[in-house]
Amino acid sequence: MTELTPDSESHTVKELEQEKIVLEEINQFLELEKTQNQEILDSMSHEFRTPLVIIKSYIDMISQGKFGSINSTQREKLELVQTNVSLLITAILKTLDNLENVKK
């Protein structure tokens, strides 16, 4: 077994202090990265969902005849668009949830 001398103990303490500083810096970096990733996810969520919600709202209003009457062919096409917008919103939400879970 190696005998510890006051000089070697001092060296070990210095090494531990340096390692602690490095680990604290790494932790700060990871916390910053975590915050930035959350900001990106929040921004993506807003940027994707906002226009889709507006599109969905207008489709609903047109379907209800708020801008005038529509014929059956137009109603069919609006229902198709409405279904696809809903599917897209669901896909975006699932993707964002998956990204959120991967991040954890």
pLDDT in tens, 12-61: 888 999 999 999 999 999 888 888 888 888 888 888 888 888 999 999 99
**How many domains does the structure of the chain reveal?**
1
- The answer on pLDDT for 5 being more than 90 is no
Torsion of CA 55, 58, 62, 64, to 10 degrees: 120
DSSP string, 7-19: HHHHHHHHHHHHH
Cα–Cα distance between 95 and 104 in angstroms, integer? 14
Q: Which three-class secondary structure state does DSSP give residue 65?
A: coil
For residue range 50-96, list pLDDT tens digits in order. 888 899 999 999 999 999 999 999 999 999 999 999 999 899 888 88
What is the reported pLDDT for 9?
65
Whether residue 64 lies inside any domain: the answer is yes
Share of the chain above pLDDT 70, in %: 88
Does some domain include residue 2?
Answer: no
Q: Which tokens belong to 99?
A: 């990204």
The pLDDT value recorded for residue 36 is 86
Residue 95 lies in a domain: yes
Q: 92 is in which domain, residue-wise?
A: 8-103
- Is 73 among the domain residues? yes
Contact present, 78 and 63 (Cβ < 8 Å): yes
Question: Using an 8 Å Cβ cutoff, are 59 and 82 in contact?
Answer: yes
Residue 1 inside a domain? The answer is no
Q: What's the mean per-residue pLDDT of the chain? A: 86
pLDDT of residue 75: 93
Three-class SS of residue 71?
A: coil
pLDDT at 46: 84
97 within domain boundaries: yes
Is the entire prediction scored with pTM above 0.75? no
Do the domain assignments include residue 3? no
